[in-house]
Structure 1
Amino acid sequence: MKKISAFFAAVLLLSAFAMADVWKSDKAHSQLGFTITHLGIADISGHFKNFEVTVNASKPDFSDAVFELSADAASIDTDIEMRDNHLRSADFFEVEKFPKITFKSTGLKPAGKDRYKLSGDLTLHGVTKPVTMDLWYRGTIENQSNKKPTSGFQLTGTIKRSDFALGNKFAPPMLSDEVRINANGEFTK
């Protein structure tokens, strides 16, 4: 009897996953950015040029969504080539050794109208840590240019670079330990 129950539970789980809609980030209308404080007096921002995000959800309000991100660490861009090359080096991201940054959500909790706490595992510089970020579901419309449903999200939060052994030679206040994340995206089915 337990084998039959386990079988039906597995079938229900697979059926629910099969019914989920898959949403992909629209590269032209999405950005994965960050900001760090330099010398305690100035904020420096940058972004990753190459990344993909997939959202799987079966509910129209995305309350059951699962988010997955993969970004190319070498695509870091702060508008200063010398700084970008330094960030790609062994002092920071070590892109030759750790070419990918990944995130996979593990939970989504309501935090107000169209707002959630998104938890998941972030892998950065070869280190995986649980993180929780603020997620704002900005709505879904029919995009007039391609006639497809398009949904918008904004993700904000803070991580500590020391948790991921990034730039350990550069103590605060030279570079703040806190790195603010700001990602905005449009997703189509």
Structure 2
Amino acid sequence: MKQVFSLLMIAFLSTTTFAQTTWKVDPAHTQVSFGITHMGISEVEGRFNKFDGSIVASKDDFSDAQYQLTIEVPSIDTGVEMRDNHLRNADFFDAENHPKMTFKSTSSKKVSENKYKVTGDLTFHGITKPVTLDVWYRGTVENPQNGDVISGFAISGEVKRSDYNLGPDFPEAVLSDSVVVDVDGEFKKQ
């Protein structure tokens, strides 16, 4: 009987020790944005207005976190309708044939207090490539209005548009090959 009790305790402790928590993106308090240099002299910025994402972790400091993000490409918004329509067409994102952009992490490495290098697969325009992003875990708080537990993250990195065949007819003198990507926002504990 003691052995059965011991085995049950070990099983219980194992499942509680490795319990994972899922955090879902709060779109009302999150921005997914990008910036690219135009003509070598100015920065054009934009964002995606529709997206979904989650973080799954078993550790409170998110050192073992797994990140996943899905972006609706047609929701691109640079504040100029004519440019947005051009970015949606086959010259760039080809949003009709490739309406989603996804990122799924494959590893996370702690580099300092609350800062990580997260590597994963970025897929869009029909191409998947590994990218490494900088992640800053900004803390966890409880919302006093509704009791939600939320965590803040700033995620940033650079991708090369040439890696994804994005705007191949536009040379680097017109549009930089490097595109800065930023996700800044809140994730609610589920």
Taking structure 2 as the reference length, the TM-score comes to: 0.90
Between the aligned partners of 1:101 and 1:163, the Cα distance in structure 2 is 14
Q: 1:178 to 1:149 in 2, by over 3 A?
A: same
User: What amino acid maps onto 2:29 in structure 1?
Assistant: H
Matched with 1:177 is: 177
* Corresponding position: 1:107 with 2:107: yes
Aligned identity (percent) is 51
Taking structure 1 as the reference length, the TM-score comes to: 0.90
The range that moved more, 173-182 or 18-27, is 18-27
User: What amino acid maps onto 2:179 in structure 1?
Assistant: V
Matched with 1:75 is: 75
Matched with 1:24 is: 24
| Partner SS for 2:84 | helix
| Partner SS for 1:24 | strand
Aligned residues: 177
Matched with 1:60 is: 60
Structure 1 gap ranges (5+):
1-10
| Partner SS for 1:30 | strand
User: How well do the aligned residues superpose, as a CA RMSD in angstroms?
Assistant: 1.7
Aligned runs of 1:1-189 on 2, under 5 Å? 19-189=19-189
| Partner SS for 1:85 | helix
Q: Which has the larger radius of gyration?
A: 2
Between the aligned partners of 1:114 and 1:38, the Cα distance in structure 2 is 34
Between the aligned partners of 2:112 and 2:65, the Cα distance in structure 1 is 16
Superposition deviation, residue 145 in structure 1: 2.0
Between the aligned partners of 2:145 and 2:81, the Cα distance in structure 1 is 35
For residues 77-111 of structure 1, the C-alpha deviation after alignment (integer angstroms, 9 at most, x for no partner) is 00000000000000000011001000000000011
Q: Which aligned runs of 4 or more in structure 1 are off by greater than 2 angstroms?
A: 15-18
User: What amino acid maps onto 2:185 in structure 1?
Assistant: G
User: What amino acid maps onto 1:114 in structure 2?
Assistant: N
The answer as to whether partners of 2:18 and 2:58 remain within 8 angstroms in 1 is no
Matched with 1:5 is: none
Between the aligned partners of 2:171 and 2:16, the Cα distance in structure 1 is 47
Between the aligned partners of 2:154 and 2:82, the Cα distance in structure 1 is 30
Superposition deviation, residue 19 in structure 1: 1.8
